[in-house]
Structure 1
Amino acid sequence: MDTASSSSNSTMAEFDYLFKLLLIGDSGVGKSTLLLSFTSNTFEDLSPTIGLDYEKNCWGVVSDIIFLFLYHEAGQERFRTLTSSYYRGAQGIIMVYDVTRRETFTNLSDIWAKEIDLYSTNQDCIKMLVGNKVDKESERVVSKKEGIDFAREYGCLYLECSAKTRVNVEQCFEELVLKILDTPSLLAEGSAGVKKNIFKEIPPQSDASTSGCCSW
């Protein structure tokens, strides 16, 4: 799946599908760096996100063009005030943990999986589990087997990656989007005929930034 370029006067009418994807997980697991690595092929050590942020990107797959809104919210509890609107209408959710920090894995079942059950409005929403920071293999405390077992229990796709080295970064998003494309209810919801204005769903108090290959 290749990232597709577009001119500055692109409009939503030019896209065949629009999907809203979320990244969730504890603070510091690498959600922001994972998005940056995917959308711009670069790596930076970023400060923790405050509030809600999002990136935008578009892909070409076969004969279709897919526009992605990629949201992530601060992992710290004191900043997490936008939860219900954040989950609303998402076709895909990526749960991220740090393979070098046991508590970020434990909190997947204690906090994040429960949030999905509580707030997700799409019963067919595709979930993916991502273990980040595999470049720090010598510091690993969560085994790959534990990740696979969790993914099986909660019905998730599963990959390990490194936002720093970009190992499996694109594959994370590619596998998720391909699974959405293979799910009729989600495909219909994201099609050109029923697209929503995603910008209207961004809470006014959020300091959201946009990047990626597409502009309006």
Structure 2
Amino acid sequence: MPARPPAATIRTQLMLPLRFADGYATTARVFSFDGLVDGREHLAFGLGDRTGAIASPGSDHSAPDSSAPSGPPRAEPLVRPHSECLTGDVLGSQRCDCGPQLREAVERIADHGGFLLYLRQEGRGIGLYAKLDAYALQDAGLDTYQANLALGYAEDERDYTVAAQMLHALGLTRVALLSNNPDKATQLERLGVTVTERMPTGLHLSAANAGYLAAKARHGSHTWARKHAV
């Protein structure tokens, strides 16, 4: 039976223009939160028809923002919980597919209407320094999951309780999930968020990440929709 996590509340919300290196630009409403169980600074980005203000306890946002697109919102927004990746998201590393997935997700969610949840859990939850330690072990022949285990961590230490808290704070209990990872859907369902559909991203394949993606398919049962050469 689903167990709803402790309640979180919206702390701050404001409009933020976004622009990517390839020139794609859009506008998001960014939300911060109080009461997240891990105490970290996770963010939600409302995109497309979800850029209007959301009322929260103690806020003065009692009506939708006039800058939001007109028309009724979709009943089931497209949501991607995206784990922070400094090397991929910011620096453009091709050892993973995180940067291209983030770019794809923002455009698809903006077109559909929904939220990107940017979760501060680098390296599948082990942190930046440990992720770099794992990279060194991968250079010595281990795959991404074996390297985590060799360092004394689980294959994947990510916990999506905060993602469920954020969705509940945004008033969402039913979502279409943009993810290749079945564990995200399983955890969200367990935390009281109904996943009506799981939609994969494209396969952002490069010479540098082929082994990494193969390990994700083999160990984590990840699936992709189509191939993108990068």
- TM-score normalized by the length of structure 2: 0.34
Greater RCO structure (CA 8 Å; 6+ sep): 1
Query: Which protein has the bigger helix share?
Result: 1
Of structures 1 and 2, the larger Rg is shown by 2
